[in-house]
Amino acid sequence: MNLFATSASPERSARALDDRRVIKMAVESAQLLSTAMWLRGLPAPYRPTHRYHPAVAWTRTNRASFTWVYRHFLALGAEYARRFGRQHASMRCSAAFRAAIPRFPKGRRPPFVNLTRHPRVRPVTTAYRRHLEDKWARGPTRPRWTRARPPRWSRFEGEA
């Protein structure tokens, strides 16, 4: 369970991810949003999971954080559609998530929670970039970016 916040922009964060994480993170974002809704007493499309996880706590903090995850979720769906030519199954939940936004209290987006192996790196977006590069470097397979390029900040070239 993670957000991979490599940018303050949820859209740029989604574009930076390799194919494997675009697929996986669309589901995880839906789970984060659903659990945040459930914890606020709202009906949710997915059952709650990892209720006490720091990413869930961050997501449910307020409207700004919930909206950031919602926009990231939509951007992951757009990336999935662009790369693979079909809609990700979790995108069917987008209307429920959009409808829940006003039910969260207003407030400024809190700083991203750092769930990387680089807890002292600031800003947190840089820690997530390093975290992804570590994963790409030591993963069992080379990361791929179907119909996309690796992010400009990455030293990793991968397979485009």
- Radius of gyration for the alpha carbons in the chain, expressed in angstroms and rounded: 15
Round to whole Å and give the CA distance between 107 and 105.
6
Sole residue written with tokens 């490599």: 6
Instruction: Please write the tens of the pLDDT for every residue from 42-82.
Output: 999 999 999 999 999 999 999 999 999 999 999 999 999 99
- What's this model's pTM, rounded to 2 decimal places? 0.95
Per-domain residue ranges of the chain: 10-138
CA distance linking residue 147 with residue 160, whole number of Å: 7
User: What confidence score (pLDDT) does residue 160 get?
Assistant: 47
pLDDT for 159: 53
pLDDT, residue 158, reads 56
Low-confidence ranges of the chain (pLDDT < 70): 157-160
Pairwise CA distance, residues 81 & 113, whole Å: 28
Question: Distance between CA 35 and CA 37 in Å, rounded?
Answer: 5
The amino acid at residue 127 is A
Residue type at 46 in one-letter notation: Y
Tokens of 148: 């996309």
